[in-house]
Amino acid sequence: MPNMVMINGAQVDADDPCALWQALYAFKLKVIAGDKVDEMEIRSPVTNRRTRWGAANIKDLDAELARLQSACDAKKGKRRRYAIRGVYRPY
C-alpha cells in the first residue's frame, strides 16, 4: 500500500523519490514567486506595523531536492559521472 502525503494540495507517494521531487519543486516555484507569503498587520492608535514572512526555508528545501534528485536517479539506474581533472606541467 502506498504511503500518501499531501504536498501543495496534491496527494504524492512518499516512497517514490521522483514524485516527491516533482511536488517539492512545484512548491519551491510557488514560494519563489511569492505565492506562499503570509502577512500580518497590527494597528494601534500610535503605530501601524505590517510583517511579511515566507512559509519555507529555501536552503533546506534545496538540500531536500538535491537528495531526492539523487535518489530518483539511483532508482532509474542513472549514474552521475564526474570527470577527472588534471593539469600537465612539464618540469
pLDDT digits 0-9 by tens, 16-71: 888 998 998 998 888 887 776 677 778 777 888 877 776 677 888 899 999 999 88
pLDDT number for residue 82: 67
Distance CA 24, CA 31 (A): 10
Domain boundaries, the chain: 4-76
> How many other C-beta atoms can be found within 10 angstroms of the C-beta atom of residue 19?
19
User: For the whole prediction, is pTM greater than 0.85?
Assistant: no
